[in-house]
Structure 1
Amino acid sequence: MATKANEIVNQAWEKYKRYVTDFPETVSQIEATSRVLSYIIAGRFEDSQVLSELVYLSSNLLVLLNDTIIKNASKILPKIPVSVEKLKRWLTVLEYGEVFIEMAAYRKFGETGKWVLIVIIQLTKAIWRLLLLWKHHGGIQPSPPIAPLDREKYTKQFKHNPTEEMQEFQENLDSETVEPVNGMSEVTFTLKRSGKVIRRLSAAPPINFRSWKLPGHGDREKERAGVRFYEPTTLSKQRLWGETLYITRPLIHLFGMYVCGTMSWKPWIMSGTIDVASLCMMGDTKDLNPQEKSEIKRRSLLLLYYLLRSPFFDTYSKMKILSTLRVMADNVPGLGILLRPIIDYLPSWQKVYFYLWSA
């Protein structure tokens, strides 16, 4: 009985993987619809905020799952250890789910239970990120560690029409010529319309030694798909400690709130100082890869979040931001539909720790 159930599950899983790789656009539309649904649910009824975050978490996990399927099907994979890949995947899942966990904990266990789980999550994230940094030399780490795929690049290669490819192959076969390059014959040619790489018949090895893989096929596919993988930059000692400071900043901030109180200025100032110091310790970013440069820019922009973080928000920026949004909603045609829900939701959003202090 168990064997039959496993067989049914495996068959369903294989069918689902084929569907994801065959219809990536439809899958993307389903994911986008579920994300929009999470925004529609918010504020509609009691506990709708928790349900909204659950739907949003589910949509993110679905994206992560489908991205993994597409990446594996494309055979374009970065060369990283399995342990590092698993650690990044678990860290990504935790970051996707932290807001929902916080809200659910508050509903179930109250204020104390919420803060206990917040500390556990931030401690877990810090340990995992420090392992990636110091043990696995992960460099400057983005948030989340596994970003959504640019699926257009990954799905190029299995979007070809087989009938058209066969027809084009026959057309090219009649006019096939082998042009020597540096004394050697080209062993493949590229179909003009589809871009499919075909081995020349004249360059085929004896039948006993043939395989269905093209010479350098993996590299060609990566180049044709436009997918590039960047090795983490080897960080100097100053940058290592700057990244360590950035990773441990949430724990220092939580300890400051525990000692001084959640509405004290000291944790806010400490956190801001650490963020600025860690950015300064990174120095000139010219030698970083594009992904790391993008992460440094993201961290710089996130400094604006300090305008929304208590106690600065409650003391200075709350009334200014809300009054500005109200003026825009009342006087700019069409903006009211978008801005009024934000005005109503902003005070509640600002009280959720992981909305503001996760990154």
Structure 2
Amino acid sequence: MESRQRYLSSINAALRPSKWRASYEELVTKNVQTVGQIESALRSLTYIIPGRYRDSELPSEVVHSGVQILSLYHDSLVSKAIAKLPPTVRRPHPTPHARYTKYWTSRSSFYHKVALTLQTIQYTELLWEMIARRRGEKIRWRVIVFIEIVKAICRLILMRLTNSRPLVSPPLPEREQDPRALEEHESDWNGMDTPASEGSDMSWTMPRTGLSLPSLPDTNDISNYLISKVLTADDVKPPKALLHRVTGQGQLAEILYIIRPVIYALAMQRWSGNKRSWSPWLIGFALEYGSRQLAKKDLKERVAGGLRGLTGLERDELRKRGWAMGWWLMRGAFYENITKAWLKSVTNKLKNKPFLDILGGLLEDYEYLWDDYYFSTATL
């Protein structure tokens, strides 16, 4: 009887969800590079599937959204694994974005929950639009406007939690290095600032202690070695100082930037019967361009040194937003009246040409996304 109870208890323990989860977490943290390669392969697959067969966009987007959400979970696992490493293990110097987002996620659990909600919505918004479209155009536009309102509320909350600092994209820390690689690097470290190189003629083992002196950097690479050890002004700043607080016209610019997608979606809903109407496009573009110019003007007047006095994180965010404005070429009336005809002419020219016809085929397959789905070109 006792042996039977032990057998049943062992089966229950093996089937316990917590044990499966622990095994999965260990698998991910010990194979970070392999997991990353699998994620990239699945994402690439979702870029190829659309247009290959009827109604292929929905299963393709299900896979893409699932991979993106799973990547968020994997990011948290890797971050926890690195945090649990012994203090003696040297961590790589984090990027300004990682320092800033880690500071707020560790300081405020509410910030982490809101940022996670925002990221999840962004990863699944196109999928919800595809599902809603099957219920009709009215339902589709209601869902689009609702999603944009929820995202705007999340961004306004994040702005409030960071004491009126601009948003960063993404609002959560990105995946760090492989914790296993850090441990292996630490095992080869000789206690000095340079790792001992195997088989190097410059290394020397002390006969009494058995310790080896570190190898010197290559004489041809001394400048790069020294530069890599220099701390910049951003490196010594506290994380929250990596973004200046916005007030006055700067705060107005950030709020306009946040609510622009809501106003644009409402305008698109209003003129949904006429895709070629320029009114929604002009409203949306004017709001985004105006908020950008207002923000730059505020930074020039308020920050010491103007735009040259910006931190690296602020410059990166401005650059991202600048590049994102290029997607206005693929939206609304600009796409319907100008870009669409140009793309068709390009795809026609690429047909029946070696290698180039593959690119033409991909462009042709994606035309229906740009034609029919709002979130296919959303950047915020």
Assess if the C-alpha contact under 8 Å between 1:63 and 1:148 holds in 2.
Answer: no
Q: Which runs of 5+ in 2 are unaligned?
A: 1-7, 84-90, 92-101, 197-204, 216-234, 301-306
Percentage identity across paired residues of the two chains = 27
Corresponding residue number in structure 1 for 2:177: 151
What is the letter of the counterpart of residue 157 of structure 2?
Answer: L
Alignment of 1:319-338 (within 5 A): 319-331=341-353, 333-338=354-359
Distance 1:297 1:275 in 2: 14
Aligned to 1:220: none
Distance 1:84 1:323, change over 3 A: same
The CA deviation string for residues 121-165 of structure 1, in whole angstroms up to 9 with x for no partner, is 10100111011113432622234422632435x664233485x67
What is the match of residue 316 of structure 2? Answer: 294
| Structure 2 equivalent of residue 214 of structure 1 | none
Shift of 1:248: 0.4
Deviation of the 1:55 alpha carbon: 0.5
Alpha-carbon shift at residue 312 of structure 1 (Å): 1.8
Query: CA 1:242 to 1:173, structure 2 compared with 1: closer, same or farther past 3 Å?
Result: farther
Give the letter for the 2:112 counterpart: E
Counterpart of 2:121 (choices 67, 84, 94) is 94
Q: Which residue of 1 aligns with 2:369?
A: 348
Q: Which residue is 2:109 aligned to? A: 82
Query: Of 116, 138, 142, which aligns to 1:116?
Result: 142
Q: Does 1:142 align with 2:168?
A: yes
**Deviation digits for residues 302-349 of structure 1, max 9, x if unmatched?**
222222212122222221222124324555x41211221212322433
- 2:148 touches 2:262 (CA, 8 Å); kept in 1? yes
1:56 is matched with: 64
2:158 paired residue number: 132
Indicate if the aligned counterparts of 2:330 and 2:339 stay in contact, CA closer than 8 A.
Answer: yes
Residues 6 and 142 of structure 1, relative CA distance in 2, 3 Å threshold: farther
Count, aligned residues: 312
Superposition pairs of residues 248-267 of structure 1, within 5 angstroms: 248-261=259-272, 263=275, 264-267=277-280
Letter of the structure 1 residue corresponding to residue 145 of structure 2: V
C-alpha distance in 2 between matches for 1:191 and 1:96: 50
**Contact kept in structure 1, 2:52 and 2:365, CA below 8 Å:** no
How far, CA to CA, are the matches of 2:333 and 2:253 in structure 1?
26
How far apart in 1 are the matches of 2:372 and 2:168?
25
Q: CA 1:34–1:138 in structure 2 vs 1: closer, same or farther (change >3 Å)?
A: farther
Which whole-Å CA distance do the structure 2 matches of 1:308 and 1:112 have between them?
23
Whether the aligned pair in 2 keeps the contact of 1:230 and 1:289 (CA below 8 Å) is: no
Conserved 8 A contact 1:253-1:271: yes
The Cα shift of 1:9 comes to 1.2
In structure 1, the residue matched to 2:227 is none
Whether contact under 8 Å (2:119, 2:170) holds in the other structure is yes
Q: What pairs up with 1:200-349 in 2 under 5 angstroms?
A: 230-231=239-240, 232-261=243-272, 263=275, 264-283=277-296, 284=300, 285-331=307-353, 333-349=354-370
Cα separation, 2, equivalents of 1:349 and 1:5: 50
**Secondary structure of 1:146's aligned partner:** coil
- The answer as to whether partners of 1:326 and 1:343 remain within 8 angstroms in 2 is no
**CA deviation string 1:181-232 (max 9, x = no partner):** xxxxxxxxx9959xxxxxxxxxxxxxxxxxxxxxxxxxxxxxxxx9x98423
Write the letter of the residue equivalent to 1:344.
D
Closer, same or farther in 2 for the Cα pair 1:191/1:47, shift >3 Å? farther
- SS of 2:124's equivalent? helix
**Which residue identity does 1:85 align to in structure 2?**
H
Q: CA RMSD in A?
A: 3.6
Q: TM-score, normalised by structure 2?
A: 0.71
Instruction: Pick closer, same or farther for the CA change 1:172–1:300 going to 2, 3 Å.
Output: farther
Distance 1:244 1:103, change over 3 A: same
Q: Please state how far the C-alpha of 1:12 moved relative to its aligned partner.
A: 1.5
